[in-house]
Every structure is written in C-alpha cells, then in structure tokens.
Amino acid sequence: MSDAITLRPFEQGRFDSLVKLARTRFDVEITQPEARILMHSAAAYFLPEPSETESRPNVRPEFLRWLITDAEAAKFIDPKGVRIWSVTIPAPLDLQGCTIPHPVHFLWSDVQAELALFAAEVRGLFVLGGNLRKGLLADGITVRGPVFIKGTKCSGTIHMIGADIDRNLDMSGTELTGSGMMLLLDGARIRGSVFMHQGFRSSGEVRMLNARVGGDLGFDGAALTATGKALSLDKVAVEGNVSFAAWKNSDGSVKAAFTSGGSVNLLAADIKGDLDCEGADLAATGIALNLATARIRGHVYLRNGFKARGQLHLHSAEIGNSIDMSGAALTEAKIAVVLEEASIRGSISLCDGFTSFGWVDFKGAQIGGNLVCDDCKLPLLYCANTTVKGDLQWTGIRDAKATTLCLNGATIKSLRDERESWPSSGGLRLDGLTYEELTLHSARTETNRQKNEFGPEHPLKVRDRVDWLQRQPTSDQAEPQPWMQLATVLKAKGDDDGAKRIIFELRRAQARSSNTAVRAGKILFAKLQQQPLWVTLPIVLTTLLATCLFWFAGKQGAIAPTSKEAYVAWSTGSRMDAAYPRFNPFIYSLENDLPLVKFGIDDKWAPDQDYKPKGLIFSYNTLSWARVIIIFWGWFQATVLAAAIGSRFKN
C-alpha cells in the first residue's frame, strides 16, 4: 500500500525526520514494516481495511514502545496519532504507566501477546479489527479522548477497572471469545456513552460494577452467550438511557435482537433515562433480569417481542415513569415477574398479547398511574396490599377461567372489568380491597382497542356484583369487608336499596356454614335487618288467628271475666258493671301478641275453667296453653325485631 501513497511535502518532512530519529535513537536498521508505521503516523491519509490477502508482517514491540512514548518523535507525529496498520505484534507491548501525548491506533493488526496500558495516560485508544489474543491490561488507564475497540476478536480478558475515559467507549462489533470474565470495567468513569452493540458478542461475563457513564449505555443487537452471569451492571450510574433493544436496519426491520444466555444484572443501578429491552431475548433460567432496588427515572420497555425464560426481578425498584410489557412472553419461571414493594410513578401495561407462564407478583407495589391488563394471559396476578392510584383495567383476559386475581388488601381508585374476564369460582381474592369506583364494561372489540377505548359501560347492578363477589373462595365469602366495601360504593351512588341487598347477601353467605334450620334463621334475621317491618307479617297473622279462636271461644262462653263480681253477673246473665270492659277478641289477641301493648282487656278476661266444652278445642287447658304460646311468641317477635333494628344501626 505504501507504494501507492504520495505524501504532501510537510508529511514527507515529518516522515524523513521520524526515520532519521528512529535510526539515531532506536536502531540503525529499521524494517520496512516499521518504516511503513512511521509513514502512517506522520501523515493523515485514510487507511482502509486491508484485504484478506494483505500481509501482516511482524514488528518489534520495542520499536512501537519507542515511537509511542518518545518525546522527540512526538513532534513529528500527525494529530491523528500513531497508526499501526496491518501488522503482527508477536511479543508483549508494555506501555504501563506511560504518558502518551497522542492517540494510538491498532488498525487490523494481530496483537499476539499482552498489550499493557496499566495506569497509562493517552489521548485516545483505537483498536479497529484485528485480534487481541491476550486481551488488554488497562486497569487505571486515563484516556483524554475516546476508546474504540470495534470489530476486534479478543480471546483474552479486557481489563479496564477504574479507567477514566473523557469521551465514548465503543466496542461495537467486537467479539470476546474466551471464557470467564471477558470485560472488566468496574469503577470505570466514562464521561461519554458506552456502546457494545451492532454485532458485539461475548462468550464470557461482561462486568461494569459501580461504573459511571455520562451518556447512554447501549447493547443493541449484542449477543451474550455466557451462562450464569452474562452481564453485571450492579450499582452502575448512567446519565442517559440504557438499551438492550434490537439492532435495526435503516428501514426499521430487525437485523439482530439482543440475546443473553445468562442473567442480566442491574442491581441498585441508577439510570436517569429509559431502560429499553424491546425485542430482547433473555434465555437465563432463575433470574433473567435483575433490577432489584434499581432507580430508573424514565420508562422501562419490556415489549414488542421481549422474551424471558427466567424471572424479571424488580423488588423494591423505583421507576420514575411507566413499565410497558405489551407483547412480552415470559415462558418458564413459576414466578415470572416480581415487583414487590416497588414504586412506579407511571402506569404498568400487560397488553397486546402479553403471556406469562408463571405468577406476576406486584405485592405491596405503589403504582402512581394505571395497571392495565388487557388481551393478556397469566395464571395469577398477585396484588396483595398494592396501591393503584389510577384504574385497574381487567379486560380481554385470555383463558380467564384458569386465571386467579388476588387483590387482598389492595387500594385502587377505580376498577374497570368485563364479565368475560372474571375468574371462575374460587379464583378471585378481594378481602381488604378498597376502591372508589367500580365499572363493568362489555368486552372490548378490536375496533375499541385500535381507538384505545373501552367497551360500552354498564350501570352498576347489584346482581352482577353479587355474582362477582361469589367468585371468591368459599372460605372467603363470609368475610364482611368485600361486601361492605361494595355496599359503601352503592350507598355513595345513592343506591340505598342496593346497599341493603348486598348486606343481606353477606348474611346469607355467612349462614351457609350452618345447618339447615340455623341457616334459615340467620337468613330470615338478615332480611329483617334490612326490612324490620317484615316482622309485622307474623304479628298480624298470629293476631288474626288468635282473634278467630277467642271470638268463637267467647261465643261459646269459654272466656269469662276475671273479677268475682263481674263473673257472678256474667254467669247468671245479669247486667255487669258499666265500668267493666267488655270482651273484645281482637284487642284481647293483640294484647297477648304484643307484650308492650295494653288496653286493659287481657287482665280482665281469661278462659273459664268451669266451662264444659263439647270438644277439646275450647277447653280450659287448650285456651290457656294457646294464650301462653301467643304471649311467648309475642315476646320472641319483639326480641327479634329489637335485635334486627339494633344490628342495622350498628352496621
């Protein structure tokens, strides 16, 4: 290639000076490949990717170290820096602790031994193409520019622990082919962005514990094939976005998805932008994505083809905006999503074909927006003690009869659902749930979804919600709180009759565990709580029957005055004292049936023990026992009435 290059006069002067200086200060005999490096470093012409047939001759590492570090040589090097193009470096190149005043480029070269830049300072480091067979030892390096390691094959570990990089770190297209830990950036500070995408591959762990990134952190289209831990970003701080999305062509089609065979860990990470995992494929079992205690100021996107075999773990995470899992597929974990005690200021979406093999656990989570479950399939949504400040939308649930919805202790502003999405009997847990609004919709159609609207809204009907409450487990149906919560909402809407009906249904549910007789009594008592005047029906019936009995008894002469003087006059057919009350069977019956009602007849007349009846029906014993039974029955009715009224006021 050098034969086809024409140097400009000032570049020719630099080159001549470098050759002269190399022969004076390094070695009189410099090889042709070494002279070519001097020419590339003295000029600014473009260096293309060499062909596969281009030779890669050996150069001495000692020569490269002299050229890179010599202060006199630096005067004749172009601002582009030292450019090492298409050569082989067969032995270690030791630049530890060196201060290098210009950028260094390793372009499509084969670095066969260690490349050591430990604690060095350089104005830029570029490794494009070629091989790093023993990796890179650059812990504590200071780079006053960017670091590009692009399209390179590296079978050794890249050590950059504690690195300080002023601009971007770009490793796009690089392949790390060894095992174990392949990239170490623990404690590194990168003031620009970090890119490991567009063909980046690693068969070992990539680790950036406690790293600081001033821009974005991107792994779009990367392939991490390590099992166990594939990517460790615990306590990383990123000023921009973090992306594990697909690598796309210019027309928007997917060229390569982000894939990981091991776990992706961002434990206690601090991300000021979004976390985008759109279309990612996480194959790790156990925990596939670990965001426990992470703080993400923007959105979390786990959507549009996102797949995970293992668990998505967001315990105690703090999300500054929304979580979108629309179209995600969680295929193997028994507990697929853990958001326990997490705080999400926006909404959570489980929509557009979201499917989960295992539970979705939102226990104790605080959700500032809506929780939307629409057109999705999952065995259990566990929202015990969860707070949703917006709507809980439960619509379009696939295989709803096999789904369990647990809302025990949850607090929700509004619950919107469809009858078709209700779980089967035993699949609904509602004890402790509180809400302000309850709305039933018709099933959403595709047109509704395209317009982002609900199906038609139905008025709040008691029979619908009784059916809803009866889908709780049998052991929970007697718990009063779900029923009383619904009664409170109905009463707030002005439906007092509906509220009474709900309380009656609660008493019926509570009575189901009793035997038939006790159950019937409890149900009757519950009805009297809501309709106390119903007790007047047996009172009226008893009074009428007693009136008939005592009327006929009076006609037969079986009822006599209790006063001696009145009895003598009555029995002899003489005229009784005008002040003595005459017998009235209705008043007499009413006084016996209602213990607190007294008109003065009950204690003035009684069955006549001297009466000789033609049959048993009007005998003294029959009438006396009838009176006693009526009195006790009256006290019983009064007691039941008082208890029902008292219980109603208590409730």
Q: Concatenated DSSP letters for 474-485? A: TTTTT-HHHHHH
Token pair in block for residue 528: 């009297």
List of E strands, 425-558: 428-429, 434-441, 457-458
Q: Cβ distance 369 to 347 under 8 Å?
A: yes
Residues 128-143 as b/e (b if ≥16 CB within 10 A, e otherwise) read bbbbbbbbbbbbbbbb
User: Helix-strand-coil percent breakdown of the chain, rounded to 5?
Assistant: 30, 25, 45
Residue 233's nearest CA partner among 268, 200, 205, 208 is 208
For residues 255 and 173, give the distance between their C-alpha atoms in angstroms, rounded to a whole number: 13
pLDDT for the residue 193: 98
pLDDT for the residue 43: 96
Summarize the confidence of residues 208-237 as an average pLDDT.
97
Q: Give the model confidence (pLDDT) of 427-470 as tens digits.
A: 999 999 999 999 999 998 888 888 888 889 999 999 999 999 99
Measured CA distances, 306 to 290, 321, 640 (Å): 15, 19, 63
Token pair in block for residue 477: 């149906």
Q: Cβ distance 129 to 149 under 8 Å?
A: no
* In the predicted structure, residue 650 carries a pLDDT above the cut 60: no
Q: Cβ distance 172 to 195 under 8 Å?
A: yes
Mean of the per-residue pLDDT values of the chain: 90
Token pair in block for residue 384: 């015990």
* In the predicted structure, residue 517 carries a pLDDT above the cut 80: no
Residue 434's nearest CA partner among 476, 482, 471 is 482
Q: What's the pTM value of the predicted model, to 2 decimals? A: 0.82
DSSP H helices, 531-616, are 536-556, 564-572, 585-593
pLDDT for the residue 642: 65
* In the predicted structure, residue 516 carries a pLDDT above the cut 60: no
Summarize the confidence of residues 132-158 as an average pLDDT.
97
Q: Give the model confidence (pLDDT) of 228-239 as tens digits.
A: 999 999 999 999
Summarize the confidence of residues 184-206 as an average pLDDT.
97
